[in-house]
């Protein structure tokens, strides 16, 4: 980035450095839970955490918050690392897991018991909820709150030793059941879960909860600024309480910023998981999803995502960002760098009835401005394809189509006149008969004709059959809540076409590329040399609403 970003977090860091609140090195962390793939909301947090550390000469940990073995897996641990790396960030040797600290966390919990700041509670989850009170009414003390320190120590050890069933007991902080902040009403710190953990196996059957784990890991790693999203604002007093009551003499400040929302998308891993499980999309890397893996597969460059995150900025205001901003960043990134070719998505056969002899070779630049991208040869012959939507028997001048008895220029090639239309039984055109104007070759045109329409096309001899996938938004509603896929999911979000692309685009593996007038495209991961598959990353112009 050429100019240094300023926002309330960077300003705060500058102040802390000036006032010697931190000892010179800024340390941040990105703490994903490995219970799903990363999405563009996470990218905002990644760009922020890795970005500020880099700007201030600091360092960043990639720390997995792996305290819930029921939802976590190695697949997610791998995908998250791949995505962070692909986004362009490097944690170097700072890859950690909350589970690295399980032994320490356990002993900090024991310390709390020893200070009479935590107790083992036998209430069920429902009973704990029922005695928690409400925003207007205080909760009530657990009958187990007065257990002796010795009894609590003994019971907590036996919880660890596996003597009790899941849910039979929990360890709770002893704070204040009348606190106006519900998070401070004797929150649960540890629960029993007889489940194998993807890293620690069967070593543990008690697992610490997020609020207890996160602050301690931050402190142990010397995180100078613990940046998280606004929903944790109400948890901050608990973050501070834990660190004030265990013996660690480092206390990071928790600083909250607003989550990124993208309209017509969901970011919740729970909803993403159910979209996948219910078969609405093909998997975590479905190009219609706002996941990093999906965006990558679609062909969105990492630089466009970083640009997007920096344009969105960091504030405390809730933001539901328009998808057009992401599209803008993608176009801006690809505009000058993606080679351009031609593809016909919905082909209509055109026969040039006055063409005879050998095909004519034409030269076409691969980019109008970026000459480094070179040029390629096209062939013009008797049979070619144009876009079905570029023909109409009659059309107004504004529509810029080829019409019956009308003229159009074939880009880089010749002007043609449509003299006949052959329809199928249902009246749909299946072939056009045209005549080409011999002295109208692009660059050497002496015909004096000025057709309004210029069309993209592919000659049959130069065409490679390709599947071309066009995407629309996955949801019809601006802020889907995942409650009704049936009404909210757009049934047309994926349209797969059997079209033709220029041979050069396939053989030179232009990736991504622009197919003129159709948009920017990239090879799908399922593509093979014999069966190319292209994803449309974004169209060329924002469609009018
Ligand atoms: P979910 O609510 O879907 O489970 P999460 O926020 O719990 O997602 P984590 O893996 O815990 O997912 O997130 C890791 C980090 O990314 C956290 O610090 C979190 O605040 C941040 N993050 C998650 N979603 C967003 C978002 N939409 N915008 C900005 N940061 C986000
Ligand atoms: Mg989380």
**DSSP, res 489:** B
Cβ pair 437, 417 in contact under 8 A: yes
Per-residue pLDDT tens over the stretch 66-97:
999 999 999 999 999 999 999 999 999 999 99
**Model confidence at 545: pLDDT above 50:** no
Q: Which residue has the higher pLDDT, 96 or 529?
A: 96
Angle, to 10 degrees, between the axis of helix 210-220 and the axis of helix 102-114?
110
Return the pLDDT at 541: 83
Measure the CA–CA gap between 396 and 275, rounded to whole angstroms: 43
Nearest ligand, CA 80: 1
Which protein residue has the closest C-alpha to ligand 1 atom 4?
269
Return the pLDDT at 543: 54
Which protein residue has the closest C-alpha to ligand 1 atom 14?
32
Per-residue pLDDT tens over the stretch 130-174:
999 999 999 999 999 999 999 999 999 999 999 999 999 999 999
Give the DSSP per-residue string, 265-280: ----HHHHHHHHHTTS
* 238 CA distance to ligand 1 middle (Å): 19
**Model confidence at 241: pLDDT above 90:** yes
Which protein residue has the closest C-alpha to ligand 1 atom 22?
42
The sheet carrying 27-30 orders its strands as 27-30, 59-64, 95-97
Measure the CA–CA gap between 92 and 89, rounded to whole angstroms: 9
Measure the CA–CA gap between 227 and 243, rounded to whole angstroms: 16
- Count of C-beta atoms within a 10 Å radius of residue 52: 22
Cβ pair 262, 42 in contact under 8 A: no
Atom of ligand 1 nearest to the CA of 271: 3
Q: Which of the residues are catalytic?
A: 33, 259, 269
Average pLDDT over residues 479-483: 93
Nearest ligand, CA 313: 1
Q: Which residues line ligand 1 (CB under 6 A)?
A: 31-33, 41-42, 44-45, 65, 228-229, 259-260, 267-269
The pLDDT confidence band at residue 461, using thresholds 50, 70 and 90, is very high
Mutate to test the pocket of ligand 1, among 30, 44, 45 (most ligand atoms within 8 A of CB): 45
Average pLDDT over residues 337-356: 98
Return the pLDDT at 487: 92
Geometric angle at alpha carbon 124, from 118 and 126, rounded to 5°: 115
The pLDDT confidence band at residue 544, using thresholds 50, 70 and 90, is very low
> 536, 84, 53: which is closest to 305 by C-alpha?
84
* 92 CA distance to ligand 2 middle (Å): 23
Return the pLDDT at 260: 97
**DSSP, res 201:** B
Return the pLDDT at 2: 43
* 42 CA distance to ligand 1 middle (Å): 6
Q: Which two tokens stand for residue 340?
A: 């351009």
Per-residue pLDDT tens over the stretch 25-54:
999 999 999 999 999 999 999 999 999 999
The pLDDT confidence band at residue 62, using thresholds 50, 70 and 90, is very high
The pLDDT confidence band at residue 236, using thresholds 50, 70 and 90, is very high
**Model confidence at 3: pLDDT above 60:** no
Mutate to test the pocket of ligand 1, among 29, 30, 38, 42 (most ligand atoms within 8 A of CB): 42
- Whether the upstream peptide bond of residue 266 has omega within 30° of 0, thus cis, is no
Q: Which two tokens stand for residue 180?
A: 């106006």
Do the bridges between strand 463-471 and strand 533-538 make them parallel or antiparallel, or are there none, so unpaired? parallel
Q: Which two tokens stand for residue 205?
A: 């059957």
Mean pLDDT computed over every residue of the chain: 96
Measure the CA–CA gap between 131 and 121, rounded to whole angstroms: 13
Measure the CA–CA gap between 216 and 147, rounded to whole angstroms: 25
* Dihedral (CA of 31, 1, 536, 383) sign: negative
* 404 CA distance to ligand 2 middle (Å): 61
- Whether the upstream peptide bond of residue 512 has omega within 30° of 0, thus cis, is yes
**Model confidence at 6: pLDDT above 90:** no
Atom of ligand 1 nearest to the CA of 260: 28
Geometric angle at alpha carbon 197, from 85 and 283, rounded to 5°: 50
**Model confidence at 500: pLDDT above 60:** yes
Nearest ligand, CA 232: 1
Atom of ligand 1 nearest to the CA of 227: 18
Measure the CA–CA gap between 382 and 375, rounded to whole angstroms: 23
* H-helix or E-strand spanning residue 244: helix 236-245
Angle, to 10 degrees, between the axis of helix 302-312 and the axis of helix 40-55?
80
64 SS3 class: strand
Q: Which two tokens stand for residue 309?
A: 């995150």
- Which are the contacts of 118, defined by CB distance < 8 A and separation ≥ 6? 109, 112, 152, 171, 172, 173, 174, 189
* 65 CA distance to ligand 2 middle (Å): 8
Share of the chain above pLDDT 90, in %: 96
Per-residue pLDDT tens over the stretch 393-435:
999 888 899 999 999 999 999 999 999 999 999 999 999 999 9
Measure the CA–CA gap between 457 and 468, rounded to whole angstroms: 15
Atom of ligand 1 nearest to the CA of 229: 20
* H-helix or E-strand spanning residue 229: strand 226-229
Return the pLDDT at 542: 61
Measure the CA–CA gap between 22 and 16, rounded to whole angstroms: 6
* 32 CA distance to ligand 2 middle (Å): 7
Nearest ligand, CA 37: 1
- Which are the contacts of 130, defined by CB distance < 8 A and separation ≥ 6? none
315 SS3 class: coil
Which protein residue has the closest C-alpha to ligand 1 atom 27?
41
Measure the CA–CA gap between 244 and 408, rounded to whole angstroms: 76
Share of the chain above pLDDT 70, in %: 99
Average pLDDT over residues 522-540: 96
Which protein residue has the closest C-alpha to ligand 1 atom 13?
32
* 233 CA distance to ligand 2 middle (Å): 13
Average pLDDT over residues 477-496: 94
Return the pLDDT at 1: 44
Atom of ligand 1 nearest to the CA of 45: 30
**Model confidence at 115: pLDDT above 80:** yes
> 62, 25, 59: which is closest to 42 by C-alpha?
62
> 262, 274, 292: which is closest to 482 by C-alpha?
274
Stated pTM of the model: 0.95
């Amino acid at each position: 980035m050429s100019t240094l970003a300023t926002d309330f977090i960077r300003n705060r860091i500058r102040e802390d450095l000036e006032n010697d609140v931190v000892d010179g090195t800024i340390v941040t962390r990105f703490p994903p839970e490995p219970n799903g793939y990363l999405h563009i909301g996470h990218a905002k947090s990644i760009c922020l955490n890795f970005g500020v550390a880099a700007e201030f000469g600091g360092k960043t940990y990639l720390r997995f918050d792996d305290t819930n073995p029921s939802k976590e897996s190695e697949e997610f641990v791998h995908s998250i690392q791949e995505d962070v790396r692909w986004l362009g960030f490097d944690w170097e040797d700072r890859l950690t897991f909350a589970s690295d600290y399980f032994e320490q966390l356990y002993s900090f919990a024991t310390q709390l018991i020893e200070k009479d700041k935590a107790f083992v509670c036998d209430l069920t989850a429902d009973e704990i909820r029922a005695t928690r009170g409400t925003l207007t009414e205080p909760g009530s003390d657990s009958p187990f709150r007065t257990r002796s320190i010795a009894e609590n120590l003994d019971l907590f050890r036996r919880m660890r030793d596996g003597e009790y069933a899941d849910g039979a007991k929990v360890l709770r902080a002893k704070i204040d059941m009348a606190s106006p902040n519900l998070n401070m009403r004797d929150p649960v710190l540890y629960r029993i879960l007889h489940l194998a953990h993807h890293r620690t196996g069967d070593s543990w059957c008690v697992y610490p909860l997020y609020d207890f784990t996160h602050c301690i890991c931050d402190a142990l790693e010397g995180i100078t600024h613990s940046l998280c999203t606004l929903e944790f604002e109400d948890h901050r007093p608990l973050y501070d309480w834990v660190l004030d009551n265990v013996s660690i003499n480092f206390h990071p400040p928790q600083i909250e910023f607003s989550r990124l929302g993208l309209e017509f998308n969901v970011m919740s891993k729970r909803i993403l998981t159910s979209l996948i499980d219910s078969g609405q999309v093909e998997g975590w890397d479905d190009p219609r999803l706002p996941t990093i893996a999906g965006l990558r597969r679609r062909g969105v460059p990492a630089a466009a995502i970083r640009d997007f995150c920096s344009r969105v900025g960091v504030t405390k205001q809730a933001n539901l960002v328009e998808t057009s901003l992401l599209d803008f960043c993608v176009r801006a990134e690809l505009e000058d760098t993606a080679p351009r070719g031609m593809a016909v998505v919905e082909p209509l056969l055109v026969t040039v009835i006055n063409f005879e002899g050998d095909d004519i070779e034409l030269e076409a630049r691969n980019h109008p401005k970026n000459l480094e991208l070179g040029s390629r040869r096209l062939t013009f012959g008797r049979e070619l394809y144009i876009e079905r939507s570029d023909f109409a028997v009659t059309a107004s001048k504004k529509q810029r189509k080829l019409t019956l008895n009308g003229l159009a220029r074939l880009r880089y090639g010749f002007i043609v006149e449509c003299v006949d239309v052959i329809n199928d039984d249902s009246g749909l055109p299946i072939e056009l008969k045209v005549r080409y104007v011999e002295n109208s070759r692009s660059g050497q045109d002496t015909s004096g004709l000025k057709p309004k329409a210029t069309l993209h096309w592919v000659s049959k001899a130069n065409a490679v059959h390709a599947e071309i996938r066009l995407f629309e938004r996955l949801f019809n509603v601006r802020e889907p809540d995942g409650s009704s896929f049936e009404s909210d999911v757009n049934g047309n979000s994926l349209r797969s076409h059997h079209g033709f692309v220029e041979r050069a685009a396939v053989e030179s593996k232009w990736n991504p590329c622009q197919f003129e007038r159709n948009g920017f495209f990239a090879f799908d991961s399922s593509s093979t040399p014999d069966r190319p598959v292209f994803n449309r990353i974004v169209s060329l112009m924002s469609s009018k609403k």
